[in-house]
Structure 1
């Protein structure tokens, strides 16, 4: 699971706006491993990580 750490507009998802704390990708959208690397690294238009991988909370 990924969380947004910097606001951005996803140019690959009809300019959908993501805000800090949102889950990425939103429900119903699938993304490639390459896109996840792009957004979680510096190789994107903002030049800074936009999402961060987080662990799923344990469901008991």
Structure 2
């Protein structure tokens, strides 16, 4: 599954990269831990906001 950004944020875990709504997370060449994906896809973070959502890709349907 891929993740799409639903709220703009600056990711301090990826060199301060700014993710804009609609971007794929993580950026190309970067990896995210399961814990980081959970932190960003739920309200279990400092700001209590959802930043990414899981989206189905054509590869997932195979």
41-50 or 31-40, larger mean C-alpha shift: 41-50
Report the CA distance between 1:43 and its aligned residue: 1.5
1:8 aligned onto 2:9: yes
**Structure 1 stretches of 4+ moved >2 Å:** none
**For the aligned residues, what is the CA RMSD?**
1.0
Which runs of structure 2 are paired with 1:10-49 in the superposition (5 Å)? 10-49=11-50
Equivalent pairs, count: 58
SS at match of 2:10: strand
Report the CA distance between 1:30 and its aligned residue: 0.5
Report the CA distance between 1:57 and its aligned residue: 2.9
Gaps of 5+ in 1: none
Gaps of 5+ in 2: none
